[in-house]
Structure 1
Amino acid sequence: MKKIFVYFILLTAATGTAFAQKYAEAKAILGQVSQKYRTYNTVKSDFIITIQNPQSGVNEVQNGSLLTQPKSNKYKFSLYTSAAKTAITQEITSDGKTQWTYMPKEKEVQVNDVNNNAEGMNPAQLFTLYEKGYKYIYTGLQKQAGKSYQVVELTPTDAKQAIFKIKLLIDKVKKQIYSAQLFDKNGNRYNYTIKTFTPNPAVTAGTFIFNPKTYPGVEVVDLR
Protein backbone atom coordinates (compact mmCIF):
# COMPACT_ATOMS: atom_id res chain seq x y z
CA MET A 1 0.00 0.00 0.00
CA LYS A 2 2.85 2.33 0.90
CA LYS A 3 4.53 1.67 -2.44
CA ILE A 4 1.32 2.52 -4.32
CA PHE A 5 1.00 5.78 -2.37
CA VAL A 6 4.61 6.74 -3.11
CA TYR A 7 4.12 5.91 -6.81
CA PHE A 8 0.98 8.10 -6.89
CA ILE A 9 2.91 11.01 -5.36
CA LEU A 10 5.73 10.64 -7.89
CA LEU A 11 3.27 10.38 -10.79
CA THR A 12 1.42 13.49 -9.65
CA ALA A 13 4.68 15.42 -9.30
CA ALA A 14 5.81 14.32 -12.77
CA THR A 15 2.47 15.32 -14.30
CA GLY A 16 2.62 18.72 -12.61
CA THR A 17 6.16 19.28 -13.87
CA ALA A 18 5.17 18.34 -17.44
CA PHE A 19 2.16 20.69 -17.31
CA ALA A 20 4.30 23.54 -16.00
CA GLN A 21 6.75 22.96 -18.85
CA LYS A 22 3.95 23.01 -21.44
CA TYR A 23 2.60 26.21 -19.88
CA ALA A 24 6.04 27.83 -19.98
CA GLU A 25 6.46 26.84 -23.64
CA ALA A 26 3.06 28.28 -24.53
CA LYS A 27 3.82 31.51 -22.66
CA ALA A 28 7.13 31.91 -24.50
CA ILE A 29 5.54 31.27 -27.92
CA LEU A 30 2.67 33.68 -27.33
CA GLY A 31 5.06 36.28 -25.91
CA GLN A 32 7.08 36.24 -29.13
CA VAL A 33 3.93 36.57 -31.25
CA SER A 34 2.64 39.47 -29.17
CA GLN A 35 5.99 41.26 -29.08
CA LYS A 36 6.36 41.15 -32.86
CA TYR A 37 2.75 42.10 -33.56
CA ARG A 38 2.93 45.18 -31.36
CA THR A 39 5.96 46.55 -33.20
CA TYR A 40 3.70 47.35 -36.16
CA ASN A 41 1.76 50.61 -36.44
CA THR A 42 -0.87 49.02 -38.65
CA VAL A 43 -1.59 45.51 -39.89
CA LYS A 44 -3.76 44.32 -42.77
CA SER A 45 -4.79 40.70 -43.17
CA ASP A 46 -7.10 38.71 -45.42
CA PHE A 47 -8.69 35.59 -43.99
CA ILE A 48 -11.27 32.87 -44.45
CA ILE A 49 -13.87 32.15 -41.74
CA THR A 50 -15.36 28.68 -41.57
CA ILE A 51 -18.43 28.27 -39.35
CA GLN A 52 -19.39 24.69 -38.52
CA ASN A 53 -21.92 22.97 -36.30
CA PRO A 54 -21.97 19.18 -36.88
CA GLN A 55 -25.19 18.74 -34.88
CA SER A 56 -27.24 21.18 -36.97
CA GLY A 57 -25.42 20.58 -40.25
CA VAL A 58 -24.05 24.14 -40.52
CA ASN A 59 -20.99 24.55 -42.75
CA GLU A 60 -20.48 28.11 -43.97
CA VAL A 61 -17.44 29.77 -45.49
CA GLN A 62 -16.92 33.55 -45.59
CA ASN A 63 -14.08 35.76 -46.78
CA GLY A 64 -12.94 38.79 -44.86
CA SER A 65 -10.26 41.37 -44.21
CA LEU A 66 -9.03 43.11 -41.09
CA LEU A 67 -7.15 46.40 -40.85
CA THR A 68 -6.03 47.32 -37.35
CA GLN A 69 -3.81 49.62 -35.30
CA PRO A 70 -2.56 47.38 -32.46
CA LYS A 71 -1.43 50.22 -30.20
CA SER A 72 -4.72 52.14 -30.32
CA ASN A 73 -7.25 49.28 -30.62
CA LYS A 74 -8.62 50.80 -33.82
CA TYR A 75 -9.83 48.49 -36.57
CA LYS A 76 -11.92 47.93 -39.69
CA PHE A 77 -13.34 44.44 -40.13
CA SER A 78 -15.05 43.52 -43.41
CA LEU A 79 -16.92 40.44 -44.62
CA TYR A 80 -17.50 39.81 -48.31
CA THR A 81 -19.87 37.78 -50.47
CA SER A 82 -16.96 36.10 -52.27
CA ALA A 83 -13.18 35.77 -52.36
CA ALA A 84 -13.14 38.41 -55.10
CA LYS A 85 -14.38 40.99 -52.53
CA THR A 86 -16.88 42.44 -54.98
CA ALA A 87 -19.50 43.23 -52.33
CA ILE A 88 -19.47 43.74 -48.56
CA THR A 89 -22.00 41.87 -46.44
CA GLN A 90 -20.97 43.54 -43.18
CA GLU A 91 -18.37 46.05 -42.03
CA ILE A 92 -17.39 46.89 -38.46
CA THR A 93 -15.35 50.03 -37.85
CA SER A 94 -13.96 51.30 -34.56
CA ASP A 95 -11.84 54.23 -33.44
CA GLY A 96 -11.14 52.52 -30.11
CA LYS A 97 -14.09 54.14 -28.33
CA THR A 98 -17.05 53.90 -30.72
CA GLN A 99 -18.03 50.95 -32.91
CA TRP A 100 -20.04 51.23 -36.14
CA THR A 101 -21.62 48.08 -37.60
CA TYR A 102 -22.66 48.70 -41.20
CA MET A 103 -25.06 46.35 -42.99
CA PRO A 104 -25.35 47.32 -46.69
CA LYS A 105 -28.35 45.09 -47.41
CA GLU A 106 -30.40 46.79 -44.68
CA LYS A 107 -28.87 50.22 -45.46
CA GLU A 108 -28.29 50.59 -41.73
CA VAL A 109 -25.39 51.33 -39.41
CA GLN A 110 -25.60 50.54 -35.69
CA VAL A 111 -23.55 52.66 -33.30
CA ASN A 112 -22.28 51.24 -29.98
CA ASP A 113 -19.61 51.91 -27.39
CA VAL A 114 -16.66 49.54 -27.70
CA ASN A 115 -16.99 46.52 -25.42
CA ASN A 116 -13.58 45.69 -23.94
CA ASN A 117 -14.83 42.79 -21.83
CA ALA A 118 -13.58 39.29 -22.62
CA GLU A 119 -17.11 38.17 -23.51
CA GLY A 120 -17.41 41.03 -26.01
CA MET A 121 -14.28 40.21 -28.01
CA ASN A 122 -13.91 42.57 -30.95
CA PRO A 123 -12.24 41.73 -34.28
CA ALA A 124 -9.09 43.67 -33.40
CA GLN A 125 -8.35 41.07 -30.72
CA LEU A 126 -7.90 38.26 -33.23
CA PHE A 127 -4.09 38.46 -32.89
CA THR A 128 -4.01 39.28 -29.15
CA LEU A 129 -7.04 37.49 -27.69
CA TYR A 130 -4.82 35.27 -25.54
CA GLU A 131 -3.33 38.16 -23.55
CA LYS A 132 -6.13 38.51 -20.98
CA GLY A 133 -8.45 36.08 -19.28
CA TYR A 134 -7.03 32.80 -20.59
CA LYS A 135 -4.95 29.87 -19.43
CA TYR A 136 -2.84 28.26 -22.11
CA ILE A 137 -0.79 25.18 -22.85
CA TYR A 138 1.49 24.09 -25.69
CA THR A 139 0.31 20.78 -27.20
CA GLY A 140 2.97 20.18 -29.88
CA LEU A 141 3.19 20.49 -33.66
CA GLN A 142 0.44 20.04 -36.23
CA LYS A 143 0.75 19.77 -39.99
CA GLN A 144 -1.50 21.94 -42.13
CA ALA A 145 -1.19 22.20 -45.92
CA GLY A 146 2.20 20.46 -45.75
CA LYS A 147 3.62 22.82 -43.12
CA SER A 148 4.17 22.29 -39.39
CA TYR A 149 2.69 24.78 -36.92
CA GLN A 150 3.02 25.17 -33.16
CA VAL A 151 -0.27 24.46 -31.40
CA VAL A 152 -1.37 26.39 -28.30
CA GLU A 153 -4.74 25.72 -26.66
CA LEU A 154 -6.47 28.37 -24.56
CA THR A 155 -9.21 28.02 -21.96
CA PRO A 156 -10.95 31.02 -20.36
CA THR A 157 -10.45 31.68 -16.66
CA ASP A 158 -14.16 32.55 -16.52
CA ALA A 159 -16.08 29.29 -17.00
CA LYS A 160 -19.27 31.25 -17.83
CA GLN A 161 -17.92 32.40 -21.19
CA ALA A 162 -19.65 31.02 -24.29
CA ILE A 163 -16.26 30.21 -25.88
CA PHE A 164 -14.79 27.37 -23.83
CA LYS A 165 -11.68 26.61 -25.92
CA ILE A 166 -9.49 28.29 -28.53
CA LYS A 167 -6.90 26.47 -30.60
CA LEU A 168 -4.12 28.54 -32.18
CA LEU A 169 -1.80 27.40 -34.96
CA ILE A 170 1.35 29.52 -34.97
CA ASP A 171 4.03 29.91 -37.61
CA LYS A 172 7.26 29.34 -35.69
CA VAL A 173 9.50 31.16 -38.19
CA LYS A 174 7.30 34.21 -38.80
CA LYS A 175 6.04 34.29 -35.19
CA GLN A 176 2.52 34.88 -36.48
CA ILE A 177 -0.85 33.27 -35.88
CA TYR A 178 -1.83 31.17 -38.90
CA SER A 179 -5.28 30.18 -37.66
CA ALA A 180 -7.56 30.47 -34.65
CA GLN A 181 -10.33 27.95 -33.99
CA LEU A 182 -12.97 28.94 -31.43
CA PHE A 183 -15.30 26.38 -29.80
CA ASP A 184 -18.53 27.54 -28.13
CA LYS A 185 -20.95 25.75 -25.82
CA ASN A 186 -23.67 25.56 -28.49
CA GLY A 187 -21.52 23.27 -30.62
CA ASN A 188 -20.37 25.96 -33.02
CA ARG A 189 -16.80 26.08 -34.32
CA TYR A 190 -15.38 29.25 -35.83
CA ASN A 191 -12.10 28.86 -37.70
CA TYR A 192 -10.17 31.95 -38.85
CA THR A 193 -7.42 31.09 -41.33
CA ILE A 194 -5.05 33.94 -42.19
CA LYS A 195 -4.31 34.10 -45.93
CA THR A 196 -2.23 37.29 -46.07
CA PHE A 197 -0.51 39.40 -43.42
CA THR A 198 0.76 42.87 -44.42
CA PRO A 199 2.59 44.99 -41.81
CA ASN A 200 2.35 48.78 -41.82
CA PRO A 201 0.07 49.51 -44.80
CA ALA A 202 -0.70 53.18 -45.36
CA VAL A 203 -3.96 54.43 -43.78
CA THR A 204 -5.72 57.80 -43.75
CA ALA A 205 -6.95 59.71 -40.70
CA GLY A 206 -10.55 58.72 -41.37
CA THR A 207 -9.96 55.02 -41.96
CA PHE A 208 -11.23 53.97 -38.54
CA ILE A 209 -14.27 56.29 -38.43
CA PHE A 210 -17.59 55.59 -40.16
CA ASN A 211 -18.85 58.66 -42.01
CA PRO A 212 -22.56 58.31 -42.91
CA LYS A 213 -22.23 61.06 -45.54
CA THR A 214 -20.25 58.69 -47.75
CA TYR A 215 -23.12 56.16 -47.65
CA PRO A 216 -26.18 57.88 -49.16
CA GLY A 217 -29.48 56.67 -47.71
CA VAL A 218 -27.98 54.84 -44.73
CA GLU A 219 -30.00 54.90 -41.51
CA VAL A 220 -28.01 55.58 -38.32
CA VAL A 221 -29.26 53.61 -35.30
CA ASP A 222 -27.56 54.87 -32.13
CA LEU A 223 -27.67 52.13 -29.45
CA ARG A 224 -25.46 53.84 -26.90
Structure 2
Amino acid sequence: MKYHILLILMIILPLQAFAQKDARAREVLDGMSAEYSKSAGTTIVFDGTLKGTIALKGDKFVLDCGGIKSWFDGETLWSYVEDNEEVNVSSPTAEEIQAINPYAMIGMYKNGFNYTYAGTKNINGMRCEEVILTPEKKQDIKKISIAVDSKKHPVYVRLENSQGDTQEFKVKEYKTQNLTDTFFRFNPKDYPNAEIIDLR
Protein backbone atom coordinates (compact mmCIF):
# COMPACT_ATOMS: atom_id res chain seq x y z
CA MET A 1 0.00 0.00 0.00
CA LYS A 2 2.82 2.40 0.84
CA TYR A 3 4.33 1.88 -2.61
CA HIS A 4 1.03 2.75 -4.27
CA ILE A 5 0.60 5.83 -2.13
CA LEU A 6 4.13 6.93 -3.00
CA LEU A 7 3.10 6.78 -6.63
CA ILE A 8 0.09 8.94 -5.88
CA LEU A 9 2.39 11.46 -4.32
CA MET A 10 4.07 11.94 -7.59
CA ILE A 11 0.81 12.93 -9.19
CA ILE A 12 -0.21 15.62 -6.99
CA LEU A 13 2.93 17.27 -6.37
CA PRO A 14 3.96 20.10 -8.42
CA LEU A 15 6.94 17.83 -8.47
CA GLN A 16 9.43 20.18 -7.03
CA ALA A 17 11.37 17.06 -6.42
CA PHE A 18 13.58 16.87 -9.40
CA ALA A 19 16.59 18.39 -11.00
CA GLN A 20 18.65 18.43 -14.13
CA LYS A 21 19.93 20.30 -17.07
CA ASP A 22 17.03 20.57 -19.49
CA ALA A 23 15.92 24.21 -19.36
CA ARG A 24 12.49 23.66 -20.91
CA ALA A 25 11.70 20.79 -18.54
CA ARG A 26 12.78 22.98 -15.62
CA GLU A 27 10.50 25.74 -16.86
CA VAL A 28 7.51 23.36 -16.96
CA LEU A 29 8.21 22.06 -13.43
CA ASP A 30 8.80 25.56 -12.07
CA GLY A 31 5.54 26.73 -13.61
CA MET A 32 3.63 23.82 -12.07
CA SER A 33 5.24 24.49 -8.70
CA ALA A 34 4.44 28.21 -8.81
CA GLU A 35 0.81 27.54 -9.73
CA TYR A 36 0.45 25.16 -6.82
CA SER A 37 2.25 27.38 -4.31
CA LYS A 38 0.01 30.39 -4.82
CA SER A 39 -3.11 28.44 -3.83
CA ALA A 40 -4.63 28.43 -0.32
CA GLY A 41 -5.63 24.83 -0.95
CA THR A 42 -5.92 22.32 -3.78
CA THR A 43 -8.24 19.35 -4.24
CA ILE A 44 -7.51 16.67 -6.84
CA VAL A 45 -9.67 13.76 -7.97
CA PHE A 46 -7.72 11.01 -9.75
CA ASP A 47 -8.22 7.60 -11.28
CA GLY A 48 -6.19 5.09 -13.26
CA THR A 49 -4.33 2.35 -11.42
CA LEU A 50 -5.76 3.74 -8.18
CA LYS A 51 -8.75 6.00 -7.62
CA GLY A 52 -9.18 8.59 -4.93
CA THR A 53 -9.03 12.21 -3.85
CA ILE A 54 -6.43 14.33 -2.17
CA ALA A 55 -6.62 17.78 -0.62
CA LEU A 56 -3.41 19.73 -0.17
CA LYS A 57 -2.13 22.88 1.54
CA GLY A 58 1.52 23.54 2.23
CA ASP A 59 2.90 20.41 3.89
CA LYS A 60 -0.60 19.31 4.97
CA PHE A 61 -2.79 16.78 3.19
CA VAL A 62 -5.90 14.62 3.37
CA LEU A 63 -5.70 11.51 1.18
CA ASP A 64 -8.68 9.17 0.61
CA CYS A 65 -7.71 6.11 -1.43
CA GLY A 66 -8.05 2.34 -1.32
CA GLY A 67 -10.18 2.18 1.83
CA ILE A 68 -7.77 4.30 3.88
CA LYS A 69 -8.23 7.97 4.71
CA SER A 70 -5.25 9.86 6.07
CA TRP A 71 -4.95 13.32 7.59
CA PHE A 72 -1.61 15.07 8.14
CA ASP A 73 -1.44 18.51 9.76
CA GLY A 74 2.30 18.94 9.43
CA GLU A 75 3.11 17.08 12.65
CA THR A 76 0.59 14.31 13.34
CA LEU A 77 -0.67 11.63 10.95
CA TRP A 78 -4.06 9.95 11.43
CA SER A 79 -4.82 6.93 9.22
CA TYR A 80 -8.37 5.58 9.28
CA VAL A 81 -8.85 2.06 7.95
CA GLU A 82 -12.47 1.74 6.87
CA ASP A 83 -12.67 -2.07 6.98
CA ASN A 84 -11.90 -2.36 10.70
CA GLU A 85 -12.83 1.15 11.86
CA GLU A 86 -9.38 1.74 13.27
CA VAL A 87 -7.39 4.98 13.42
CA ASN A 88 -3.63 4.82 13.83
CA VAL A 89 -2.09 8.03 15.18
CA SER A 90 1.63 8.68 14.71
CA SER A 91 4.30 11.34 14.54
CA PRO A 92 5.98 10.23 11.32
CA THR A 93 9.59 10.78 10.38
CA ALA A 94 10.48 12.61 7.18
CA GLU A 95 11.16 9.24 5.53
CA GLU A 96 7.77 7.88 6.56
CA ILE A 97 6.01 10.96 5.27
CA GLN A 98 7.84 10.62 1.98
CA ALA A 99 6.20 7.21 1.58
CA ILE A 100 2.67 8.59 1.90
CA ASN A 101 2.75 12.38 1.67
CA PRO A 102 2.16 14.05 -1.67
CA TYR A 103 4.08 17.03 -0.42
CA ALA A 104 7.24 15.20 0.54
CA MET A 105 8.82 15.96 -2.81
CA ILE A 106 8.29 19.72 -2.74
CA GLY A 107 11.47 21.72 -2.63
CA MET A 108 13.70 18.79 -3.61
CA TYR A 109 13.76 18.87 -7.38
CA LYS A 110 17.24 20.33 -7.41
CA ASN A 111 18.59 17.05 -6.09
CA GLY A 112 18.19 13.39 -6.92
CA PHE A 113 16.55 13.34 -10.38
CA ASN A 114 17.33 14.29 -13.95
CA TYR A 115 14.58 15.62 -16.19
CA THR A 116 14.11 16.10 -19.90
CA TYR A 117 11.46 17.76 -22.02
CA ALA A 118 9.60 15.20 -24.16
CA GLY A 119 7.51 17.60 -26.25
CA THR A 120 3.74 17.94 -26.47
CA LYS A 121 1.02 15.32 -26.53
CA ASN A 122 -2.78 15.29 -26.68
CA ILE A 123 -4.54 14.04 -23.56
CA ASN A 124 -8.33 14.10 -23.42
CA GLY A 125 -8.42 16.72 -26.14
CA MET A 126 -5.93 18.98 -24.37
CA ARG A 127 -2.49 19.94 -25.59
CA CYS A 128 -0.07 19.07 -22.80
CA GLU A 129 3.67 19.29 -22.28
CA GLU A 130 5.46 16.17 -21.12
CA VAL A 131 8.49 15.93 -18.85
CA ILE A 132 10.42 12.71 -18.19
CA LEU A 133 12.18 12.26 -14.85
CA THR A 134 14.81 9.65 -14.07
CA PRO A 135 16.67 9.13 -10.77
CA GLU A 136 20.35 9.98 -10.58
CA LYS A 137 20.91 6.94 -8.36
CA LYS A 138 19.32 3.51 -8.64
CA GLN A 139 16.06 3.19 -6.73
CA ASP A 140 12.66 1.52 -7.01
CA ILE A 141 11.30 4.22 -9.31
CA LYS A 142 12.93 3.96 -12.73
CA LYS A 143 11.08 6.64 -14.72
CA ILE A 144 8.26 9.15 -14.24
CA SER A 145 6.38 10.77 -17.11
CA ILE A 146 4.31 13.86 -16.29
CA ALA A 147 1.95 15.69 -18.65
CA VAL A 148 1.04 19.28 -17.73
CA ASP A 149 -1.77 21.31 -19.28
CA SER A 150 -1.78 24.99 -20.26
CA LYS A 151 -2.93 25.97 -16.74
CA LYS A 152 0.24 24.36 -15.34
CA HIS A 153 -1.74 21.55 -13.73
CA PRO A 154 -0.59 17.90 -13.88
CA VAL A 155 -3.15 15.87 -15.85
CA TYR A 156 -1.39 12.53 -16.33
CA VAL A 157 1.40 10.65 -14.58
CA ARG A 158 2.96 7.35 -15.58
CA LEU A 159 5.48 5.60 -13.36
CA GLU A 160 7.74 2.68 -14.13
CA ASN A 161 9.61 0.81 -11.41
CA SER A 162 12.86 -1.12 -11.63
CA GLN A 163 10.95 -4.39 -12.18
CA GLY A 164 9.25 -2.95 -15.26
CA ASP A 165 5.81 -2.58 -13.64
CA THR A 166 3.89 0.55 -14.53
CA GLN A 167 1.27 2.67 -12.79
CA GLU A 168 -0.88 5.31 -14.49
CA PHE A 169 -2.76 8.17 -12.87
CA LYS A 170 -5.18 10.53 -14.55
CA VAL A 171 -6.21 13.74 -12.87
CA LYS A 172 -9.96 14.02 -13.37
CA GLU A 173 -10.46 17.22 -11.45
CA TYR A 174 -8.07 19.85 -10.15
CA LYS A 175 -9.48 22.78 -8.24
CA THR A 176 -8.15 25.42 -5.89
CA GLN A 177 -10.07 26.36 -2.77
CA ASN A 178 -9.54 27.89 0.64
CA LEU A 179 -8.88 25.06 3.12
CA THR A 180 -8.54 25.74 6.85
CA ASP A 181 -5.85 24.12 8.98
CA THR A 182 -8.47 22.18 10.98
CA PHE A 183 -9.52 20.43 7.76
CA PHE A 184 -6.25 18.50 7.92
CA ARG A 185 -6.85 17.08 11.41
CA PHE A 186 -8.85 13.96 12.23
CA ASN A 187 -12.09 14.74 14.08
CA PRO A 188 -13.18 11.79 16.26
CA LYS A 189 -16.75 13.14 16.35
CA ASP A 190 -17.06 12.24 12.67
CA TYR A 191 -16.07 8.61 13.39
CA PRO A 192 -17.70 7.78 16.77
CA ASN A 193 -17.22 4.01 16.38
CA ALA A 194 -13.55 4.13 15.42
CA GLU A 195 -10.93 2.62 17.69
CA ILE A 196 -8.06 5.08 18.09
CA ILE A 197 -4.60 3.53 18.46
CA ASP A 198 -1.97 6.05 19.48
CA LEU A 199 1.45 4.93 18.24
CA ARG A 200 3.34 8.03 19.31
Contact 1:111 1:220 in 2 (8 A): yes
Displacement after TM superposition at 1:115 (Å): 4.1
Cα RMSD for the two superposed structures: 2.6
Displacement after TM superposition at 1:207 (Å): 1.0
Asked whether 1:114 is paired with 2:92, we answer yes
Name the counterpart of 1:147.
Answer: 126
Contact 1:115 1:121 in 2 (8 A): no
Sort the Cα spacing of 1:64 and 1:109 in 2 relative to 1 into closer, same or farther, 3 A: same
Alignment-mate amino acid for residue 164 of structure 1: K
Alignment of 1:1-224 (within 5 A): 23-50=22-49, 62-70=50-58, 73-79=59-65, 89-117=67-95, 120-125=98-103, 128=106, 131=109, 132-159=111-138, 161-171=139-149, 173-199=150-176, 201-224=177-200
Output the TM-score relative to the length of structure 2.
Answer: 0.78
Contact 1:23 1:138 in 2 (8 A): yes
Over 6 Å off, 4+ runs:
none
Alignment-mate amino acid for residue 141 of structure 1: T
Contact 1:141 1:149 in 2 (8 A): yes
Contact 2:40 2:178 in 1 (8 A): no
Alignment-mate amino acid for residue 35 of structure 2: K
- Taking only the aligned residue pairs, the percentage that are identical comes to 28
Count of aligned pairs:
180
Output the TM-score relative to the length of structure 1.
Answer: 0.70
Sort the Cα spacing of 1:115 and 1:151 in 2 relative to 1 into closer, same or farther, 3 A: farther
- Which structure has the higher relative contact order (CA within 8 Å, separation 6+)? 2
Larger radius of gyration: 1
Give the distance between the partners of 1:22 and 1:139, measured in 2 at CA: 14
Give the distance between the partners of 2:136 and 2:187, measured in 1 at CA: 38
* Deviation sequence 1:162-209 (CA, Å, 0-9, x none): 2121110111x211111122222244322221111111x243442111
Q: For structure 1, which runs of at least 5 residues remain unmatched after alignment?
A: 1-20, 51-61, 81-88
